[in-house]
Amino acid sequence: MANEWDDPIGYVLRSSTSGFSAGAGLTQIDSLAFGMIVKTQPSTDTREVLYGLLYDIHIDDDPLVRQLVLAEAVTEETIRDQRVHRIAPVEMSVLATGYRDVDGQIRQALPPRPPISLAPVYLCTDAESREFTDYFDYFRLVLSASQVPGEQLLAANLVRAALTRPESEQYDFLVSAGREAARLLSGDMARLDNLLRLIYPNRVRITE
Amino acid sequence: MAKKTTEIDDFFGPRSPRLGVVTGGSLSRGLDVKLDPGTELEELAAGRYVVVHGHQRRFFSMVTDITLASTSAQIAITPPDMSNPFLADVYGGSMAFGVVHIAPMLVINENRQIEPVRTIPPHFQEVWTATEQDINDVFGDEDESHFNIGAPLELLNTQINVDLKRLTERSVGVFGKSGTGKSYLTRILLAGVIARGAAVNLIFDMHNDYGWEVYNELGARDKGLKQLFPDKVAIFTLDDESSRRRGVRPDFVVTLAFNEIDPEDLSALRQTMDLSDTMLDAAYTLRRLWGRDWIQQLLTAEPHILEDLLNTTTINGPSLTALVRRLQRFERFKFLVPQTQGDTVQEILNYIESGRSVVLEFGRYGNALEAYILVANYLTRRLRERYVKRIEESLGDEAKQPPQLMITIEEAHKFLDPQIARQTIFGTIARELRKYKVTLLVVDQRPSAIDEEVMSQVGTRVTALLDNEKDITAVLMGVNGAQGLREVLARLDTRQQAIVLGHAVPMPVVIQTRPYDEAFYKAMGAPLQGKSLKRAAKASGKTLYGDDEFEGYG
Ligand SMILES: Nc1ncnc2c1ncn2[C@@H]1O[C@H](COP(=O)(O)OP(=O)(O)OP(=O)(O)O)[C@@H](O)[C@H]1O
Ligand SMILES: [Mg+2]
């Protein structure tokens, strides 16, 4: 995996053990999606790789955008130029859902320490996403996080995770994920019902 | 879903399918097993065997109840849309699930020895359906002393073998509603006992079910014991005409002499003939006054003689008239004669001593309960007297003792009703255990009407479907771990299924009764060929059954 750490999509802006925000250039916007699994590169070999779910992406204005919004006859050129060179980054929020310990094991728990600022952030490969979603222990972290729309986020993540699997396994994967969610949400049928409708397998094809 | 193979699994070999895991329970109440999502609830039946894999032991258990459970009360209030297959799959395996209740029956330890259940497996141990190997480990092969009476539910290629020695050294009960196969079960058991020489039988055959051929429900003829074992069975009859009409050539026509009937013989008929205490007292008085001919004298007495009686004895008029009227019913019984030719009791004894079983056909008198009870009591009382004498004279020398005798009676509650069980010979035999080598095989559809103390001495119980609560309670009373069988018992098929429990089997078991057909006849004639005697149950029978000195169920 020589180039595992090539091409970060962004860098950590702010962080805590429950998650972090990262900034990226506007050109990255097309490769980002709600519910994706991202990871941070550790600063040394003795630190953990952190995993999290991308749950919020926002694009702040900057003074130039404010001007351009009001200006008349702005050329395509100017707009493209502004997008490439703008000074405010695209900001994304990531909910911490686990880490890969130095022993190589994935643990679906809050990390022992947050990533440091400007740590590079990467999208996980399909293989890595699949590895992470082989276990469902992170459901609880997602469903109990107050700052995120839990069912929406978990559903988006599961639908993506299903697609990283062979087609013959997708349905069973979603059923077992659904059962685990049912276990956790047995006291709240409304949320459970919401979540299950969001991951109903027909939708898998629709999002494709 | 972790696949952890323990040593015991390596030893016993793999199995499938897994049903679920133990989630709770107790030694006295049995265990709750939460079913895996994939387990098809509808395929589980009460009475089926399952095996719990503990750390060191396997717990043989029977499914006694099946329930639906859910993790949330809400789901019951707003059931999910089960027409959506995805939602059905998710809910079906998580929030809504099946729980089966199982009763541990016995334990096999890592040395493959059988132990009684003294503990339970810890939480979350895996539960599997029992395999043929499991059943064979417990019930072993057929051999000289073990007889195949059927197969466990769902495992129709295996056999349940009863231990004939244990079966015959204590009393046996065959119970079930009308038409559930009691007579067929009894005939199968008797055939086993006769084929292997476990005991000699005297069968009071009320409905001519056992000796010669019978018509089954399809209208075809099934063979009787005499046809299966011509040299080992004799047919006696009370009704020569009826027997011959059915193609039987009886070995002996039984007659009883009026002058042999004692007042004691009447006391067993107290309920059946509605005899009061004062009527019985009158009978004793007459016997004392008139001697052996008391019945005939009474039935032919001139009015003035009766008048005299009332004046000179304590007998009162109404009782005497009532007694006369009752005894007049005996006149219909052609087998009652003034003087007998041979000694029927001795005749029966001769057959028994030469190892031949006797089926006593009642012919048309089977419909007269008082004839059945009178004759069964009359003969049994006298037979037992001679047995007791013989055994006491033998001074413990086995060689001088008569063979083990099993006496079969139907409508047993009429003999063993709590009101009369203490006074009748059958109550005595049931209670004195095997001291005098006589035991009973009672066939009945109303076990709750049998005296409790007598029931507690019925060592092996074979019971087909019963639906009356009281009968179910009576049959299961006192049998360890049997309480859980209530539901199973109430849900047996209406025919050819039974639960076998008690001394002749290592644990209660639901069987599909062996078909009584050509294959059965053939097996009865054929020698057992080199069957291995390896059987876990045998090696550890002692621990399992407890002390051999059976004192009845507590
Ligand atoms: N093991 C068996 N093999 C073949 N047929 C059987 C068997 N058991 C029962 N049957 C069928 O079921 C019918 C009823 O059985 P059976 O006469 O033994 O019932 P029962 O309980 O003795 O009835 P009842 O109370 O009327 O005496 C038989 O006629 C026979 O056709
Ligand atoms: Mg019958």
pLDDT one-digit tens code per residue, B123-172: 999 999 888 778 877 887 788 888 999 988 877 778 888 999 899 989 99
Q: Last residue of a domain, which of B332, B347, B369? A: B332
Distance of CA B316 to the CA centre of its chain: 44
Our answer on whether the CB atom of B182 is closer than 6 Å to any ligand 1 atom is yes
Is B353 contained in some domain? no
Instruction: Provide the 3-class DSSP secondary structure of residue A208.
Output: coil
Taking only the tens place, the pLDDT of each residue in A100-112 is 998 889 999 999 9
Domain assignment of residue B387, yes or no:
no
Ramachandran category for residue B423: left, alpha or beta (phi over 0 → left; psi -120 to 50 → alpha): alpha
Q: Are residues B113 and B154 in the same domain?
A: no
Q: Whose CA is nearest to atom 30 of ligand 1?
A: B216
Residue A204 — pLDDT band, cuts 50, 70, 90? very low
Do the Cβ atoms of A179 and B90 come within 8 Å? yes
- Residue B502 main-chain phi, psi, to 5 deg: 110, -150
**What tokens appear for B46 in the block?**
């009460």
* B109 and B152 co-located in one domain: no
- Condensed to tens digits (0 to 9), the pLDDT of residues B278-337 reads 899 889 988 988 888 888 888 888 888 888 888 888 888 888 888 888 888 888 898 988
Q: Do the strands B233-237 and B252-253 form a parallel or antiparallel pair, or are they unpaired?
A: parallel
pLDDT in tens, A79-89: 888 777 777 78
Report the SS3 class of residue B329: helix
Residues B60 and B80 in one domain: yes
Find out whether B381 and B265 touch, Cβ atoms under 8 Å.
yes
Q: Hey, are the CB atoms on B87 and A186 less than 8 Å from each other?
A: no
Give, in degrees to the nearest 5, the angle at Cα B266 between B263 and B272.
160
Q: With an 8 Å Cβ cutoff, are A186 and B72 in contact?
A: yes
Domain boundary among B332, B356, B389: B332
Q: What is the pLDDT of residue A47?
A: 85
Residues of A with CB under 8 A from a CB of B: 171, 174-175, 178-183, 186-187, 189, 193, 196, 200-201
Give the separation between CA B130 and CA B117, rounded to whole angstroms.
17
Same domain, B468 and B539: yes
- B541 and B463 both lie in a single domain: yes
| Distance of alpha carbon B37 from alpha carbon B34, whole angstroms | 9
User: Which residues of chain B fall short of a pLDDT of 50?
Assistant: 1-9, 11-14, 529-549, 554
* Ligand 1 binding pocket includes B497 (Cβ within 6 Å): no
Question: Which of A183, A189, A201 is closest, CB to CB, to B74?
Answer: A189
The H or E element containing residue A46 is: none
B23 touches chain A (CB under 8 A): no
B68 Cβ under 8 Å from any chain A Cβ: no
In a domain? residue B287? yes
Q: What is the 3-class SS of B232-292, one letter each residue?
A: CEEEEECCHHHHHHCCCCCCEECCEEHHHCCHHHHHCCCCCCCCCHHHHHHHHHHHHHHHH
Contact B93 A186 (CB under 8 A): no
Same domain, yes or no: B168 and B98: no
Asked if residue B150 is part of any domain, the answer here is yes
* Residue B125 shares a structural domain with residue B164: no
Of the candidates B130, B166, B131, which has an alpha carbon nearest to the alpha carbon of residue B147?
A: B166
Q: What is the dihedral of CA B304, B306, B310, B311, to 10 degrees?
A: 30
ipTM value of the model?
0.81
Q: Is B248 a member of any domain?
A: no
Q: Write the DSSP assignment of B440-505 as a string of letters.
A: EEEEES-GGGS-HHHHHTEEEEEE-----HHHHHHHHTT-TT-GGGHHHHHTS-SSSEEEEEETTS
Number of domains within chain B: 3
Among the partner residues B74, B78, B90, nearest to A178 by beta-carbon distance: B90
Q: Give me ligand 2 centre to Cα B181, in Å.
A: 7
CB contact under 8 A, A174 and B86: yes
Closest CB from A174, A179, A187 relative to B37: A179
- The answer to the question of residue B399 being in a domain is no
What's the domain range around B321?
Answer: 257-332
In a domain, B395, yes or no: no
Is B269 within the bounds of a domain? yes
- Select from B313, B332, B351 the last residue of a domain: B332
Q: B114 and B175 in one domain?
A: no
In total, the C-beta contacts within 8 angstroms joining chain A to chain B are 43
Is A13's pLDDT higher than 90?
yes
Which pLDDT score is estimated for A180? 92
* Residue B380 CA to ligand 2 centre (angstroms): 21
Is residue A20 predicted with pLDDT exceeding 90?
A: yes
Question: Does residue B215 have its Cβ closer than 6 Å to ligand 1?
Answer: no
Of all protein residues, the one whose alpha carbon is nearest to atom 9 of ligand 1 is B181
Three-state secondary structure call for residue B221: strand
With a 6 Å cutoff on the Cβ, whether B404 touches ligand 1 is no
Q: Could you tell me if B25 and B126 lie in one domain?
A: yes
Instruction: Determine the residue of chain A that is closest to B88 in CA distance.
Output: A175
pLDDT for the residue B552: 55
d(CA B81, CA B450): 53
Query: What pLDDT, on a 0 to 100 scale, did the predictor assign at position B429?
Result: 87
Cα B251 to Cα B232: distance, rounded to the nearest angstrom: 12
Say which residue the tokens 């008029």 belong to.
Answer: B317
Q: Both B446 and B553 in a single domain?
A: yes
What does the alpha-carbon distance between residue A52 and residue A37 come to, in Å, rounded to a whole number? 6
The per-residue pLDDT of chain A, averaged, comes to 88
Residue A205 has pLDDT above 70, yes or no: no
- B112 lies in the same domain as B19: yes
Residues B447 and B546 in one domain: yes
